[in-house]
Amino acid sequence: MNLPSRVITIAGSAAGGSAGIQADLKTFQELDVYGMSVVTAIVARHPETDKNVHLQTLEAIEAQFATAMKQVGADALKTGMLFSREIIEKAADLIAASDKKTVVVDPVMVGKLDSKLLADDAIDVLKSRLVPMADVITPNVPEASYLLDGRNLKTVDDMKQAAIDLYDLGPQYVLVKGGRLKGEAVDVLYDGETLTAFEAPRVDTENTSGAGCSYSAAITAYMTKGYSMPEAVRLAKSFVTTAIEYGFTYTDMVGPTYHAAERMKGEAHKIKVEKL
């Protein structure tokens, strides 16, 4: 039997199950990748104290990584919510010391459910330590803007320039995701030479919690299966667009995407790919 490839996500736990570690693991499972997790923080609002971000210790983070590596090993590593300078540095040290093959860095900053997922003083270590290790970084428009000192990004042309400038931080690829702009959902990939646009129709829904996590998890999964970066992005965007299309909610809160949609509905979205 060909064993499934192995991915460790180093990210936050989203108790509601729509985003973070939970979204990553659901995505890995859907794409037949063996998922493991290193929980950096637990995001869960306490009804009385209102505390929402519960950081894990560096010791607990290191122990989880050591356990996953020893028990299974990894073909790829993905990072999500890391929150603090110290955790970012720890994640960078662990990645540097491992014989990793693929590193996907999702520079998570703010969740759809109002939580702040990156400390104000942590952006510089994210840029200087973690981003340069990445095969790909996957910022959405607000994250790309923050990584570029607050630059205003409104159009696909702005996203193109952002991708070019973020490439200077040292990753192999930059994917700027335009889901938060108006019109078609256009994402721009840059590899230092070529800009490629990936376009999907906009889905009219509020239930997109964790869409970004799931998208970058799917990119990671497809990369471990040997797809090139543009192919991994196209397939992952198709996966997440179908998951968004069938997103739902159980309550009056923003709901999850439907991770099983592609499998259960037997549908894959056609993504328009265009060299710019």
Angstrom distance (rounded) from CA 103 to CA 92: 11
Among 10, 31, 33, 43, the residue binding ligand PXL under the rule CB under 6 A is: 43
- Cβ closest to ligand PXL, residue 8 vs residue 19: 19
Is residue 171 a contact partner of residue 136, using CB atoms and an 8 Å limit?
A: yes
Q: Which residue is nearest to ligand PXL (CB)?
A: 111
Residues paired with residue 273 on neighbouring β-strands, in sequence order: 198
**Planar angle of CA 240, 242, 247, nearest 5 degrees:** 90
Q: Which of 9, 6, 5 is nearest to 41 (CA)?
A: 9
Binding to ligand PXL by residue 117, rule CB under 6 A?
A: yes
Q: Please report, as residue ranges, which positions from 123 to 182 form the binding site for ligand PXL (by CB under 6 A).
A: none
Neighbours of 225 (CB within 10 A): 15
210 makes contact with ligand PXL (CB under 6 A): yes
Q: Is 254 in the site for ligand PXL (CB under 6 A)?
A: no
- Count residues binding ligand PXL (CB under 6 A): 18
118 contacts 55 by C-beta, under 8 angstroms: no
Interacting residue with ligand PXL among 113, 123, 169, 260 (CB under 6 A):
113
Q: Please give the Cα distance from 38 to 29 (Å, whole number).
A: 16
What x-and-dash track marks residues 73-112 binding ligand PXL by CB under 6 A? -------xx--------------------------x--xx
If binding is defined by CB under 6 A, does position 55 make contact with ligand PXL? no
Find the DSSP H helices in 31-111.
58-71, 85-97
Least Cβ distance, residue 210 to ligand PXL (angstroms):
5
Give contact residues for ligand PXL (rule: CB under 6 A): 11-14, 19-20, 43, 80-81, 108, 111-113, 115, 117, 210, 212-213
